[in-house]
Structures are given as structure tokens and as C-alpha cells.
Copies of this chain bind each other. A is one copy, B any other.
């Protein structure tokens, strides 16, 4: 069979990984696919010294690649959402298949892109957009296709997990670890996307859509970062048998779908609590299979390139297939997407870890437990500590599951107590089994 020609747009970290895998593993890939996959053209503003592009047609204008009639599959690795969107739509318009690693593009413009791809009978593959090298899109869309997905929960941002791991293992403060993460190149100069959960929310939006067959709804995903988490929170959580992880969680309930990214206490014994450093992992609970977990590198040139090239191979295999028999973009047939509501955060139900500073005075704890009880909240455990030379002491309360709405009311009432100093720190608790 004649070779499949790939056009790579963007030769940064992921672009170079993709290019080098296609070159280094060319023989193995050909033995698998039954035809060779070659780089027909590269569109990049500058060369990349890690890539030997001798004899490769390179253009500085990525749209040359999208318009190149020799190219079968466009690989969009430029990042961002504006030019990337235009590039992908142009490629689709030209009848080309698309592979992308761009989570923001898919989460924010996926509905439009998939609709156009569907109309033109081409595929848009995006395994690398979520959790780097972990084939979680394939696992959800195909490996667990016989299941109703009950929930999924993932560590899907390596920077955030590195920070939480260091805070947990070494008792370090957030700011301190963030600076190291920046020095190591794990975190950007502006770390907002990672530490405030936006990157994780992009990925969760995608996972939830393919789990439940709902349109991409990034704007409805609740997003809370880890920058407020203190070394004291981590230490109290550990004392209670928990680790704090920054999780993306999607769950289907009778009332609708939960979509939320926030720091979360999970049992130290849970496998997910033992996923450390920059590694990623996603748990999926299916009604038939039960709980599953997939673990691996969530970023980096070669791990992300691994998923990009696996997608290229998948697309190459179905170039001649009847489009109606392909795996649908969002796992469910485009005309079968569901309009299930995304639940507002007030409707979510989970346990809570509350950390507050109170006056060391008789009756304060009684007032607080009274407020919780009035709001229908039952307590699982309490830690109250003396603090030498201070009449302000920490109080930590762990509650059983309760609606966020009730907890909001309780926290407002607690913060209004004269004997409670400052804000109540609230971290959600999940039992993922």
C-alpha cells in the first residue's frame, strides 16, 4: 500500500517528540500498520535542533501544510485556540484528517470542529489532549464501550501533582514548591493554567463528554486550584489518613452530571493517592467493569508524542473505512448526544474537610457543631490542638457526605461567629472505590 503522508504543524516539545517517534520507530510502525507513515511536510516558525529534518519539506507557513494536496493527515501541535482553530477548520475543509494534542482547542471549540469533521467525513483524533501518553480516550471510548460510566476521577495535571506530592512528602509550602517547579521547567512563568485548574478543567471537560455522550461544556466546569492549600491542611489530612490530590471529577447522578476540578482528600490507601510527582492517572468506574485505573506520564515530548503517533496510526487504519463505522468523536453517535444537565456546584454531594482558627474558649466547638447539625451535617472526626503562647488554635472537622448548598450555609454561619478568626478552609473529600 502507498505510504500515508503526515503534515506536522508546530515543532516545539510535542512536535519534536512526534517527529522523532515517527523516524525512530518507523520500521516497527510499518510492521504494525502494513504501510509506512511518512512526514510529508512540516510547518514551523523555526527549526528544532532535536529533529533531523534533512530531506523534509519545511515551510514557515502552517497553512501551506493544511492546503498541501499531498498531505493525508494534519497534525496540529501549535497550541493556542485562535490560529489552531483556523488551521484545523481549514484542514477539515480540505478533506484532511486531523490529529491534535490541543486540550484547550477541543474543550472550547470541539463541538464546532467535530460537527464540521462529521459533515466532511473526516476524523479529528485527540488522544494526546488528555493525560499525555496515557491512552485514556481510547480506554473510555472503546475499551470500556460496553459500560455505563458511573464516575471518573483523575490526576490530570502533572505540575499540580508534583506540587501536592512535594507538599505531602516533605511538608513544604505551596509557594516554595511552585518556585522549584518553575526552575525545573514543570511550571510556566505564569502558572495560572496549571495551579488554578484551568488545564485540568479542559481535560475533564473532554473526558466527561466521551464518558457520557454530552456536548463539550468547558464553561460549566467548576474549577478550583491548589494555591490556597497550606502545609497545615496537608499535615492534618495525613493525620486523618488522607492525601490531598488535585482531581478532575465527573459523576453521573439522577439529577445530572457533575463536572468539577478541585483539591480533594482521598484515602492514603487508594491507588490514586500513591500516584506521585508529575505522573498522571485516571480512575474510571463502569457499571460492568467496576473501578479501573490507568497511569502514566501526562506530559513531555515522547509520552505526548506516543499518543499523537498512536492516533496517526489509528487514522491511517481507517482511511478507507466507511465513516459511519468509525468510533465517534465523543464516543456516542453525533445525533445521539445527550442533553443531560451539568449540575451547579451547590447540588454536589461529598464529604468536607474544614480547617479553621478559633478562640481557645469554652463553648466555641459546641457552637460550631450546633451550626453543622442545624444544616444537616454530621461529623466524622475532629482534631483540636493547643497552640503554645496563643489563644487562637486550629480546629479541623471532617464531615460525612452533604450537599454543597448546606455546607455553604454552615460555613457562612461559622465565619460569622465572633470566636472564629478569618475564613474557613474547605476541602472536599471523596471516597473513590
A110 sits at the interface (CB 8 A)? no
Chain B residues whose C-beta falls within 8 Å of the C-beta of A423 in the assembled complex? none
A297 sits at the interface (CB 8 A)? yes
- The residue of chain B having its C-beta at the shortest distance from the C-beta of A313 within the complex is B145
Q: Is the CB of B145 within 8 A of A310?
A: yes
Chain B residues whose C-beta falls within 8 Å of the C-beta of A28 in the assembled complex? 148
Residue A144 contacts which of B271, B310, B320 (CB distance < 8 angstroms)?
B310
Chain B residues whose C-beta falls within 8 Å of the C-beta of A25 in the assembled complex? 146-148, 287-288
A135 sits at the interface (CB 8 A)? yes
A332 sits at the interface (CB 8 A)? yes
Number of copies: 2
A32 sits at the interface (CB 8 A)? yes
Of the listed residues A28, A296, A309, the one surrounded by the most CB atoms of chain B closer than 10 A to its CB is A296
A146 and B21 in contact, given A274-B274, A325-B320 (Cβ under 8 angstroms): yes
Q: Is the CB of A31 within 8 A of B146?
A: no
A133 and B21 in contact, given A310-B143, A325-B319 (Cβ under 8 angstroms): no
A139 and B146 in contact, given A290-B302, A325-B318 (Cβ under 8 angstroms): no
Q: Is the CB of A144 within 8 A of B148?
A: no
A146 and B213 in contact, given A31-B333, A133-B289, A271-B274 (Cβ under 8 angstroms): no
Chain B residues whose C-beta falls within 8 Å of the C-beta of A393 in the assembled complex? none
Residue A146 contacts which of B290, B296, B306 (CB distance < 8 angstroms)?
B306
A310 and B142 in contact, given A271-B271, A322-B321 (Cβ under 8 angstroms): yes
Main secondary structure of the interface of A (DSSP, over half): mixed
Q: Is the CB of B297 within 8 A of A296?
A: no
| Shortest distance between the CB of A176 and any CB in chain B (Å) | 24
Residue A322 contacts which of B294, B312, B320, B324 (CB distance < 8 angstroms)?
B320
A228 sits at the interface (CB 8 A)? no
CA of A322 to CA of B324 in the docked complex: distance in angstroms? 14
A43 sits at the interface (CB 8 A)? no
- Taking A29-B146, A146-B308 as known contacts, 18 extra A-B pairs with beta carbons closer than 8 A to each other, sorted by chain A number, are A25-B288, A31-B333, A31-B336, A34-B325, A133-B292, A135-B139, A135-B142, A143-B307, A144-B306, A145-B310, A146-B307, A274-B274, A281-B293, A288-B305, A289-B297, A289-B303, A289-B307, A290-B296
